[in-house]
Structure formats: structure tokens, C-alpha cells
Structure 1
Amino acid sequence: MKNISGIESLTEKEIDRIIEMAWEDRTPFEAIKYQFGVSEAETIRLMRKTISRTSFNLWRKRVNSTISQKHLAKGAHQGSRFKCTQQKPISLNKIAKRSK
């Protein structure tokens, strides 16, 4: 985990990754804070500063809605999600391709 005092000391690559993580509905703000040391308020300021006003307003509306899981309390039921038993081997390409 990085200890960053503010968003000013972030590289362009880190800022792009934070914006990408913030835009994803399932990535909680706590994950952004853990990985980059940027709080929810700083993430909101960064989004406001870097994306267009319309995009920011749409993002804030989505984050504050009930479908978003940006806060861990909203995504608490996610532990019971179905996961295929072959998901990991498939993603690591360990299953041989079937011949036709």
C-alpha cells in the first residue's frame, strides 16, 4: 500500500487506474484507498477534475444509486455469488482446446 498525502503526487498512469477503478461499479472505494492511499473524497475530487461535467454527474448518480456497490456495505451479499468451478483454470488457459 502506498502512503500518498494527496492526489498531486500521483503519476498519470496511477490517475488513469484510479479513474478506471472508480468508474467500475463493483470496485469499492476502500480498494482504491488500500491500493493508492486515496480516500473517497479525494477520488471524487479527482473524478470531478479530470472527467467532463456530464460524465461526472452520471458517475455520481450511479455511485449513489442502489445498483452501485462502491461502498462495502452495499456489496455485503456478494460472498454468495455463483462461481464456476472451472473459472480459474479457464482464465489461466489450462484447459486444452477441444478439436472439432
Structure 2
Amino acid sequence: MYTTADISRIIEMAWEDRTPFEAILLEYGLNESAVIRLMRQQLKKSSFEMWRKRVAGRNTKHLHKRSPDILRAYCIRQYKPK
């Protein structure tokens, strides 16, 4: 259903602190539980557990918990120049 590139991008979005699950739902049609399933399938067990611990306490991963001061989905320093 999803290409390798799509899966890679979904994983990247899931790791990003400022990208909410709702953005993944809008772009790829995967809700939070589907993203968790995909991450469990695609990542090594230790990487999945690290990711779950990381996102468990992040208010920025959910739009309804997010501060209205956050207006963008990613940090401008996140992507390195090529």
C-alpha cells in the first residue's frame, strides 16, 4: 500500500517532535495507533521502545495538547543544507 519512500517519510514524521500525529493522518491516512503499529513493524525493538518513551510525554505530537504558540510543524534547524 505504501512505498518504501512513504514508509520512510512516515517514520521521519513520527520521530519529529513538532510534527503532530494529525499531520500524518492528513497526509497518509494513518491515525496514531496505525503509526504506532507501523513503527513497531519497521523499527528494531530497542528503537521502537526509545521512540515510544520519547513521544509519550510530548504535547507537540497532539494538536489538541499543543501550545497555540507553535505555528510550524518542524524546526527550521532540523534539515541540514546539502
Report the TM-score when normalising by structure 2: 0.78
Runs of 5+ unmatched residues, structure 1? 1-8, 81-100
Q: Does 1:78 align with 2:69?
A: yes
Are the equivalent residues in 2 in contact too, given 1:18–1:32 (CA < 8 A)?
A: yes
Structure 1 ranges of 4+ moved more than 2 A: 76-80
Identity of aligned residues (%): 51
When Rg is computed on C-alpha atoms for both structures, the one with the higher figure is 1
Count of aligned residue pairs for this structure pair: 72
Over 3 Å counting, the alpha-carbon distance change for 1:74 and 1:13 in structure 2 is same
Report the TM-score when normalising by structure 1: 0.65
Counterpart residue number, 1:25: 17
Query: Structure 2: how far apart are the matches of 1:53 and 1:42?
Result: 17
Compare the two structures and name the one with the higher helix fraction: 2
Counterpart residue number, 2:56: 64
Runs of 5+ unmatched residues, structure 2? 72-82
CA deviation map 1:1-53 (0-9, x unaligned): xxxxxxxx111110000000000011000000000111111100000000111
